[in-house]
Amino acid sequence: MYDAVIIGAGVSGSAAARELSRFRGNFCVLEKEEDVCCGTSKANSAIVHAGFDAPEGSLMAELNVEGNRMMGELSEELDFPFQRIGSLVICTDESDRGKLQELLERGRANGVPDLRIVEREELRKMEPNVSDDAVAALYAPTGGIVCPFLLNIAMAENAAVNGVEFRFNTKVNGIEKTEKGFCLHTNNGDVSARTVVNAAGVYADVIHGMVSREKIHITPRKGEYYLLDKSAGKHVSHTIFSLPTKMGKGVLVTPTVHGNLLVGPTAVDIEDREGVNTTASGLAEVAAKASGSVKNVPLRSVITSFAGLRAHEDRHEFIVREAEDAPGFVDCAGIESPGLTASPAIGKRAASIIRGILHLESDPEFCGTRKGILNPSRLSKEERNELIRKHPEYGTIICRCESISEGEILDAIHRPLGAKSLDGVKRRVRAGMGRCQAGFCSPKVMEILAREVPGLRMDQVTKSGGASGLIVGTDKDRL
């Protein structure tokens, strides 16, 4: 019997797991995919929002601002890339100035620090590529960008190191209330827990419905994006939003922490909770709207496109609370944007509710810091040579485009909750994320996985677990 089971190893679940690991107890995360960060957490804008969007007084606003405030220190404790580059909401029509002012006031009411309106000239100095139509912008210096994978992975790894168990490929099919708590029926047998944290992303309403009659309804809201080559990464230096206009909501243009340029998303409600396909119309919309706030976006440098699903709850509000009719069952539901920003605060809130229920005590052995995967390109020449002398794997480059060495890939595989698939390696060390999109390195990474992961043969290596095998047989096997 676990003290708490967390359903979902996305950012919310992993944050909750890490926060719970500060306390004494048996905690377990159940994840239906083969790795952490496989749903909404992996495909989004990678933005740390300042917090001026959400309605004043909402939980969304509160946790956004709190999450933003936590992010700097957390990125140091857990060693993941986060940059407070600031954000700009661009107003391209004098008649829309009122909306900009509204955002400014809402932001101030939400407690967002240092917000101000910048005028045309200053704006051009800050962002030479801003649209020629731009008349003013709301500047939020606390806005930032983060690597969503590494934020997620870092929190999960740190939770695992502090004793939280992670079970992958484990899908919750049903939950029964029992005398002592809950019995979760999974494809890998039953799991008992005194309390449950529901951090199931686009499935949070389904999981919630297994124990509660309170209505939660989540709609997967698809967002499609273009990712551009690093050669385009300096096109803007802040996250550029456009003010919603009569033409609808614009797309954002932002650098990523790895130096690429990201453009998107669209917003289309769909039914399929796994419907992460891109569409011709969606991508065309991104391309068309890219020029709304930023001029000359070099869309020729697109290296990939992707789609993610936001877990949109009908009320457009975060639900982080114990279900009234299911004591011990704590929801983290409706975690759409700014969910990534808010995730550390969401995890903290969920963990504190659980602590209150179970009267958990602090664990004096909790270690809140984690060292990320060593990035040799940040070392001096001497340090790097010393590293290669000790560990020659760091001298062999596997991914040419991103200059990722074999040493980094081995680290990604062998650390706690290590990578087991091509995508797992890619999210941890970016091998295959560059301009050739894994053309050259995927056979090599497959070989390394087959060599290093116990019990994994080359022909069993997958792209992302389950039925995503890359090799279907050997030559001539059916001749």
Partner 1 sequence: MESSMEKRELTCIGCPMGCQITVEMDGKEVKDIQGYTCKRGKIYAQKEVTNPTRIVTSTVRVTGNPEVPVISVKTAQDIPKAEIFDCVRALKNVTAVSPVKIGDVILHDVCGTGVDVIATKSA
Partner 2 sequence: MSEYKQADIVIIGGGPAGLAAAAAARDAGEDSILILERDSRLGGILNQCIHNGFGLHTFEEELTGPEYAQRFIDMVEERKTDYKLNTMVLSIGRDKVVTAMNREDGLFQVQAKAVILAMGCRERPRGALNIPGYRPAGIFTAGTAQRLVNIEGYLPGREIVILGSGDIGLIMARRMTLEGAKVKVVAELMPYSGGLKRNIVQCLNDFNIPLKLSHTVVDIRGKKRVEGVTIAQVDSHGKPIPGTEEDYTCDTLLLSCGLIPENELSAQMGVEMNPVTKGPMVNESLETNVEGVFACGNVLHVHDLVDFVSEEAENAGRNAVKYVRAMGCPEGGKKTEAVPVLATDGVRYTVPVCVRPDYMDDRLIVRFRVGNVYRDHYIAVYLNDERILHRKRQILAPGEMEQVILDREKLRNVPDLRQIRVCLEKD
Of the candidates 94, 121, 365, 475, which one interacts with partner 1 according to CB under 8 A?
475
Region of 213-221, 255-263, 423-431, 471-479 interacting with partner 1 (CB under 8 A):
471-479
C-beta of residue 35 within 8 angstroms of C-beta of residue 420: yes
C-beta of residue 330 within 8 angstroms of C-beta of residue 164: no
Note if 49 is an active site residue: yes
Q: Please give the full DSSP string across 318-343, using - where no structure is assigned.
A: -EEEE-TTSTTEEEEE---TTHHHHH
Q: Which is nearer to partner 1, 73 or 447 (CB)?
A: 447
Q: Which is nearer to partner 1, 121 or 475 (CB)?
A: 475
Does 467 participate in binding partner 1 (rule CB under 8 A)?
no
Helix or strand run (H / E) with residue 88: strand 87-91
Q: Which is nearer to partner 2, 270 or 470 (CB)?
A: 470
C-beta of residue 237 within 8 angstroms of C-beta of residue 129: no
Q: Which is nearer to partner 1, 280 or 479 (CB)?
A: 479
Q: How far is the CB of 474 from partner 1 (least distance, A)?
A: 9
Q: Which of partner 1, partner 2, none interacts with 227 (beta carbon under 5 to 8 A by kind)? A: partner 2
Instruction: State the DSSP code for 361.
Output: P
- Look-up of token digits 């940040």: 378
Does 473 participate in binding partner 1 (rule CB under 8 A)?
no
Does 280 participate in binding partner 1 (rule CB under 8 A)?
no
Q: Which of partner 1, partner 2, none interacts with 72 (beta carbon under 5 to 8 A by kind)? A: none
Q: Please give the full DSSP string across 286-300, using - where no structure is assigned.
A: HHHHGGGTBS---GG
Q: Please give the full DSSP string across 152-200, using - where no structure is assigned.
A: HHHHHHHHHHTT-EEE-S--EEEEEE-SSSEEEEETTEEEEEEEEEE--
Q: Which is nearer to partner 2, 46 or 63 (CB)?
A: 46
Q: Which is nearer to partner 2, 248 or 469 (CB)?
A: 469
Mapped onto helix, strand or coil, the DSSP state of residue 139 is strand
| Region for 435 from its dihedrals, namely left if φ exceeds 0, alpha if ψ lies in -120 to 50, beta otherwise | alpha
Q: Which of partner 2, partner 1, none interacts with 404 (beta carbon under 5 to 8 A by kind)? A: none
Q: Which of partner 1, partner 2, none interacts with 282 (beta carbon under 5 to 8 A by kind)? A: partner 2
Q: Which is nearer to partner 2, 101 or 278 (CB)?
A: 278
CA 448 to chain centroid, in Å, comes to 26
Q: How far is the CB of 452 from partner 1 (least distance, A)?
A: 16
Q: How far is the CB of 476 from partner 2 (least distance, A)?
A: 6
Does 476 participate in binding partner 1 (rule CB under 8 A)?
yes
Q: How far is the CB of 198 from partner 1 (least distance, A)?
A: 47
**What is the Cα–Cα distance from 149 to 136, expressed in whole angstroms?**
33
**What is the Cα–Cα distance from 10 to 16, expressed in whole angstroms?**
10
Q: How many CA atoms lie within 13 A of 30 on its CB side?
A: 27
Q: Which of partner 2, partner 1, none interacts with 347 (beta carbon under 5 to 8 A by kind)? A: none
Q: Which of partner 1, partner 2, none interacts with 436 (beta carbon under 5 to 8 A by kind)? A: partner 2
Q: How far is the CB of 234 from partner 2 (least distance, A)?
A: 14
Does 479 participate in binding partner 1 (rule CB under 8 A)?
yes
Other beta carbons less than 10 A from residue 180's beta carbon: 11
Q: How far is the CB of 121 from partner 1 (least distance, A)?
A: 60
Other beta carbons less than 10 A from residue 174's beta carbon: 12
C-beta of residue 184 within 8 angstroms of C-beta of residue 172: yes
Q: Which residues bind partner 2 (CB under 8 A)?
A: 227, 274, 276-280, 282-283, 302-306, 381, 384-385, 388-389, 392-393, 395-397, 400-401, 403, 435-440, 442-443, 447, 458-459, 462-464, 466-479
Which residues are catalytically annotated? Answer: 49
Residues that bind partner 1 (CB under 8 A): 475-476, 479
